[in-house]
Structure formats: C-alpha cells, structure tokens
Amino acid sequence: MATRDLGRLAKTVKAHRLQQYPSRDAAAEAAGITRNTWKRVEEGQEVRESTYGKVDKALGWAIGSCLAIAEGGEPALGAEGGDPTAAAPAPPLNADALRRAAFEAARATLPSAPIGDIDAFSDELVEVLRRAGQVADTS
C-alpha cells in the first residue's frame, strides 16, 4: 500500500467543503460525523477508514475517493455527484418480469428445488426490492 499523504487529502477536502458547505459544522452534519472529526480530516490527522467514506459521500464523491486522494489520485464523482455524463438512474424494475427472471434463475441453479420453494423465493425477492424502492408497484 502506498504511503498516505493526509496533508494532500486535507487540502482537497477543505477546498471542496468550502465550495459546498458554509461551515465545517454543516459538512460534518451532512456526513453524519462530529465537527471535531471533520476538523481532524481537514488538518491531515488520522481518522477511521469508515469516516473517509462518510466524507466521500458528503462531498458527492464515490466511496474510496478520500483514500485515493491520500495515495496521490483524484476524487471520483459518486452517484449523487452531479456528473452530467453519468448514466441516468435505472427505472424501477417491473415486478412480473423480475419474478419470472428470479424463477428462471433459481430453477436453472437449483433444478432439484421444489417449485413451491422457488415461487416463494421469487415472491420474497420482489417484495424485498419493492420495499427498497427498486420495484414499481403494479397495484
């Protein structure tokens, strides 16, 4: 692993924070960390790796960008980063098509599984994805 340049990371985080947030408090709140933890990042001090992921998210970067910066790279825009060249989010899945695909995949992978079990699995998968907002309600 390359040596981390936390000073470089600190400068980059502070520059981007100043563009997006009126204060460290606002940035820290958006990241779900304390002001003191955000301050540690901006001062080039060590923090937990999970903290860097929260900073990434608050700045609209892909997870791992803070670590990439500290290792000499550049931040990558995350899904919420406003990159105009990024693909549009996929529309919600069709419940019936998803259920059929899940059934066919389970049947091909587990040919000896009872059909009732495969049906139950397919229905549960659709329901889990519906609760997560990934499946369009057909009702």
Listed residue (136, 102, 108, 97) closest to 122, CA to CA? 102
Domain assignment present for 98:
yes
- Do 112 and 64 share a structural domain? no
Is residue 139 within 8 Å of residue 130, measured between CB atoms?
no
- Do 65 and 108 share a structural domain? no
- 59/56 Cα distance (integer angstroms): 5
For residue 101, the enclosing domain spans 93-136
Domain boundary among 39, 70, 101: 70
Alpha helices in the chain (DSSP H): 6-20, 24-31, 35-42, 49-58, 65-70, 95-109, 115-131
Please give the pLDDT value at position 86.
42
- Do 65 and 17 share a structural domain? yes
Residue type, 5: D
- The structure's pTM equals 0.56
**Which CATH number characterizes residue 14's domain?**
1.10.260.40
- Do 11 and 50 share a structural domain? yes
Phi, psi of 94 (to 5 degrees): -80, 125
Quote the number of domains for the chain.
2
Domain boundary among 14, 39, 70: 70
- 3/72 Cα distance (integer angstroms): 9
Sign of CA dihedral 34, 35, 37, 42: positive
Domain assignment present for 125:
yes
Domain assignment present for 76:
no
Per-residue confidence in pLDDT tens, the chain, 139 aa: 558 899 999 999 999 999 999 899 999 999 999 999 999 999 999 999 899 999 999 999 998 899 999 999 888 887 554 443 344 445 567 888 888 888 988 898 889 999 999 999 999 988 888 776 777 765 4
